[in-house]
């Protein structure tokens, strides 16, 4: 039995591993994406994270591809809507003058997302990026309207600095507006400092949920990238190059040792280390095949020995 965790003060309860929908309609075709979603909920997972912009970066794509794949899955199996916590995002550029967090754009973007997702509501609607050009009061008031209309249950932030997230929370308190209940930051064994230095203390103080992205460091923490020659193995390989250094190899060695101690895989150990961290609600991981997902799902049942956690802490230390 998987223990669900509260997502901030939102009332939403989520399993400790989330599925990243950035692959849907991109590196996982529709049939595979639907099979992955089935396997995810069957394993006890419930938080499915996507964004309106996924996968606009692919030649020939315009954005919305991932949401549309999820929407067709929900249409095929309407009962799945009640089994998932559906999270999407707004704010990144979808076209000329289609970006940011203005009231007008949020109102139009949410309707477009709801149409693609083929649902009446979004459980977690996240600001994909901070918008320095729109007053926070305007954005938060727009989100309040969506909550009042029943289109959104709760809101979250992604890619915010600690200073700006703190400002947003203060604005919500001052004006009595809904607050961001979660943060989606970059975080994994390789990328610890950006979150731990300033964001983690703020999130724990304010009881925010944390659903971090790139939990496997673009696949580096699976151990399949050991040299620059390996980078051509996947479309994400280019983003791994920065981890091929002394610290990165030290982390891989600690993961290998942890895998040997537990009988788990390196990916499972990397995710279990995150799930064990106080204040972290659920790392987001993606899979492009059922074989990959079945491996990741093993992390849900893995409890790391204290000495394994300590060894990983030491190997990945950033200060």
> Which residues are part of the catalytic machinery?
54
Q: State how far the Cα of 237 lies from the Cα of 286, in Å rounded to an integer.
A: 15
Q: How far apart are CA 90 and CA 41, in angstroms?
A: 25
The token duo for 214 is 């790139």
Tell me the two tokens of residue 112. Answer: 């477009």
Residues 6+ apart with CB under 8 A from 153: 10, 11, 12, 121, 122, 123, 124, 147
Non-local (6+) Cβ contacts of 93 within 8 A are: 53, 56, 99
Q: Which of 220, 213, 225, 229 is nearest to 190 (CA)?
A: 220
Compute how many other C-beta atoms are within 10 angstroms of the C-beta atom of residue 154: 25
Cα–Cα dist 272/50, whole Å: 22
Instruction: Give the number of other CB atoms < 10 A from CB of residue 132.
Output: 9
Separation between Cα atoms, residue 140 and residue 297, nearest integer Å:
35
């Amino acid at each position: 039995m998987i223990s669900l965790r509260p997502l901030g003060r939102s009332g939403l309860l989520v399993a400790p591993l989330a599925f990243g929908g950035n692959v849907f309609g991109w590196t996982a075709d529709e049939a595979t994406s639907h099979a992955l979603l089935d396997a995810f909920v069957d394993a006890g997972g419930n938080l499915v994270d996507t964004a309106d912009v996924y996968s606009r970066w692919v030649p020939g794509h315009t954005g919305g591809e991932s949401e549309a794949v999820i929407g067709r899955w929900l249409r095929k199996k309407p009962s799945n809507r009640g089994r998932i916590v559906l999270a999407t995002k707004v704010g990144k550029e979808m076209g000329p003058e289609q970006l940011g967090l203005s009231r007008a754009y949020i109102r139009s973007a949410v309707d477009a997302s709801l149409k693609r997702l083929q649902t009446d509501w979004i459980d977690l609607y996240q600001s994909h990026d901070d918008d320095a050009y729109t007053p926070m009061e305007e954005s938060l008031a727009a989100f309040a309207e969506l909550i009042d209309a029943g289109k959104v249950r709760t809101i979250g932030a992604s890619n915010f600095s600690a200073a700006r997230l703190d400002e947003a929370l203060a604005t919500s308190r001052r004006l009595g507006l809904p607050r961001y209940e979660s943060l989606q930051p970059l975080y994994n064994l390789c990328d610890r400092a950006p979150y731990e230095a300033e964001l983690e203390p703020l999130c724990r103080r304010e009881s925010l949920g944390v659903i971090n992205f790139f939990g496997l460091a673009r696949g580096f923490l699976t151990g399949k990238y050991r040299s620059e020659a390996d980078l051509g193995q996947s479309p994400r390989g280019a983003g791994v190059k920065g981890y091929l250094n002394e610290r990165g190899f030290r982390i891989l060695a600690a993961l290998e040792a942890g895998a040997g101690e537990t009988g788990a895989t390196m990916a499972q150990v990397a995710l279990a280390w995150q799930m064990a961290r106080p204040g972290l609600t659920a790392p987001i991981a993606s899979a492009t095949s059922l074989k990959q997902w079945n491996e990741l799902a093993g992390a849900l049942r893995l409890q790391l020995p204290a000495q394994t956690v300590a060894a990983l802490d030491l190997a990945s230390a950033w200060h």
